Amino acid sequence: MNVLFLTLFLACSGALLILNPEGFLSSLLDGTSKSATLCVALLASYTVWLGLMQVWEDSGVTRGVSRLIKPVTKRLFRTDDEKALKYISMNLSANMLGIGGAATPYGIRAAQALDKTKNAEFSSCMLFVVNATSVQILPTAVIGIRVALGSGNPTDIVLPTLIATAFSTGVGILLTFLFLRDKKRPTCVRHKKEKKGAGTK
Amino acid sequence: MNYFFALLIPLIFIVSFIFASFRKVKVYDSFVEGAKKAIPLIVSIFPYLATITMLSTLLEVSGLNALLIEWLSPVFAFFGVPTEIAPLILIKPLSGSGSIAMLSDILEKYGVDSYIARCACVAHGAAETVFYVGAVYFSGLKRKRLTAALCISLFAYLAAVVFGCAFCLIL
């Protein structure tokens, strides 16, 4: 990330140095002020969703959902951590329902919980890939725009979109397994046994 | 259809609260308890978010973004992706609101029901704003392989766009 940031930053600054040196600072400030506005909007939405999340947690909904899809999440993310699995399962369900606002706070807390576990490197990368390529069942915003512009059949993109997003998630998961898997602990079946022995690195 | 989905979110709240009160949860106390966590969460993600948005603004203002689009257009054409939607494909991983603006631009310009417009919609829905998700989720965590995960996500996204555009032809 550090290399990526530095390269892009220097390349952009270099271009601006020639084209428009006065615009440099103003575009930096413009960017950060945009993010400040975004954070205020996010704060409002997180407050609502984190409140609801707490109600779910206290009434046992979270635990129920987590238990239901645990067999899948456990293998996909290669972790046994109860807390992380709980957040992951809620993050996934919110993503699929298309409630991005609810998915994000769960995702952040899942990432924080995963950070303390053994397989963190792999698990958190998988969490990121799944979220970045998230399967959304209904692209509500796009349909909204199409309706507003008077489309003849605004929902005819739902199926191709669904296929494309499922495809991207599938490719993402596959590649993560291929490239980021820890070779010292190859299969999830042996995961438990090896946890005692070869736990170094 | 749209009406049904408008009902979904209020129903989720109502059902959750009623269910919670059946389980003898103090809904008000519980909600406040959860809401309390919002501020530390925002404080922890703000610096990362600010840096990423700063970089993406810089990318746009410097004209590097436009240059990149120009270079990449032949590549997109090779894979059967209409070059008209190339700017959308490149902005989508960086900015959610930017891509929405660009999408409605494309829809207006080429007609809502045209092939190009439908490809644009599919490209828009194929993945999330990858860099934003990265900035938010991994704020504060130091993961060496995050860059690799970022590349994987971007690759999966592009593959899905190519695939989705081909699918638009058939359907």
Q: B74 and B55, same structural domain?
A: yes
Q: Number of structural domains, chain B?
A: 2
Q: What is the mean pLDDT of residues B66-73?
A: 79
Crossing angle of helices A61-68/A70-77, nearest 10°?
70
- Chain A positions in Cβ-Cβ contact with residue B45 (cut-off 8 Å): 39, 42, 108
- Chain A positions in Cβ-Cβ contact with residue B68 (cut-off 8 Å): none
Q: What is the mean pLDDT of residues B97-126?
A: 83
**Cβ-nearest to B34 among A53, A104, A107:** A53
- Annotate B100-150 with DSSP letters as a single string: HHHHHHHHHHH-TTSHHHHHHHHHHHSS--HHHHHHHHTTT---TTHHHHH
Residue B82 clears pLDDT 90, i.e. is over it? no
What confidence category does residue B100 fall into, taking pLDDT thresholds of 50, 70 and 90? confident
Please tell me whether the overall predicted TM-score, pTM, comes out greater than 0.80 for this model. Answer: no
Q: What is the mean pLDDT of residues B54-81?
A: 80
Q: B30 and B62, same structural domain?
A: no
Expressed as residue numbers, the domain containing B159 is: 42-170
Tokens of A52: 């609801």
Contact A164 B137 (CB under 8 A): no
Contact A1 B147 (CB under 8 A): yes
Q: B47 and B32, same structural domain?
A: no
Percent of chain A with pLDDT over 70: 85
Give A71→chain B minimum CA distance, Å: 23
Q: B144 and B62, same structural domain?
A: yes
**Cβ-nearest to B16 among A36, A61, A104:** A61
Q: B59 and B27, same structural domain?
A: no
Q: What is the mean pLDDT of residues B76-103?
A: 79
Q: Residue B107's pLDDT is what?
A: 85
**Cβ-nearest to A54 among B30, B41, B51:** B30
* Nearest-by-CA chain B residue for A29: B54
Q: Spell out a b/e string for A48-57, using b for 16 or more CB atoms within 10 Å of the CB, else e.
A: bbbbbbbbbb
Tokens of A179: 């490239």
Q: B80 and B62, same structural domain?
A: yes
Q: B54 and B17, same structural domain?
A: no
Contact B31 A112 (CB under 8 A): no
Q: B147 and B112, same structural domain?
A: yes
* Nearest-by-CA chain A residue for B36: A47
Q: What is the mean pLDDT of residues A40-56?
A: 84
Q: How far is CA A126 from CA A19, A76, A177, A192, in A?
A: 41, 8, 8, 19
Contact in structure between A33 and A44 (CB atoms under 8 Å) = no
A-B C-beta contacts closer than 8 Å: 293
**Residues contacting residue B99 through CB under 8 Å, at least 6 positions apart:** B88, B91, B92, B124, B129
Shortest CA distance to B137 belongs to which of A162, A117, A126, A2?
Answer: A126
State the average pLDDT for chain A: 78
Q: B52 and B29, same structural domain?
A: no
pLDDT digits (tens, 9 = 90+) for A124-157: 888 888 888 877 776 766 777 788 888 887 777 8
Q: B74 and B153, same structural domain?
A: yes
Interface mutation vs chain A, best among B107, B133, B151, B171, most A CBs within 10 Å: B133
The better pLDDT of the pair A116, B162 is held by B162
Q: How many Å apart are CA B10 and CA A160, to the nearest integer? A: 28
Please give the single-letter amino acid code of residue A172.
G
Q: Residue A192's pLDDT is what?
A: 41
Please give the single-letter amino acid code of residue A25.
L
Q: What is the mean pLDDT of residues A70-85?
A: 83
**Residues contacting residue A168 through CB under 8 Å, at least 6 positions apart:** A133, B126, B127, B156, B157, B159, B160
What confidence category does residue B144 fall into, taking pLDDT thresholds of 50, 70 and 90? low
* Nearest-by-CA chain B residue for A5: B55
The better pLDDT of the pair A173, B142 is held by A173
Specify the residue for token string 């069942």: A137
**Residues contacting residue A94 through CB under 8 Å, at least 6 positions apart:** A100, A102, A103, A106
Give burial (CB, 10 Å; 0-12/13-18/19+) of A11. Answer: middle
State the average pLDDT for chain B: 81
Q: What is the mean pLDDT of residues A25-51?
A: 84
Q: B73 and B29, same structural domain?
A: no
Would an 8 Å CB–CB cutoff place A194 in contact with chain B? no
CA atoms within 13 A on the CB side of A197: 7
Contact B171 A159 (CB under 8 A): yes
**Cβ-nearest to A31 among B30, B58, B118:** B58
Give the start-to-end residue ranges of the domains of chain A: 27-196
* Nearest-by-CA chain B residue for A42: B42
Q: How many Å apart are CA A181 and CA A156, to the nearest integer? A: 38
Q: 3-state SS of chain A?
A: CHHHHHHHHHHHHHHHHHHCCCHHHHHHHHHHHHHHHHHHHHHHHHHHHHHHHHHHHHCCHHHHHHHHCHHHHHHHHCCCCHHHHHHHHHHHHHHHHCCHHHHHHHHHHHHHHHCCCCCHHHHHHHHHHHHHCCCCCCCHHHHHHHHHCCCCCHHHHHHHHHHHHHHHHHHHHHHHHHHHCCCCCCCCCCHHHHHHCCCCC
Residue A193 clears pLDDT 80, i.e. is over it? no
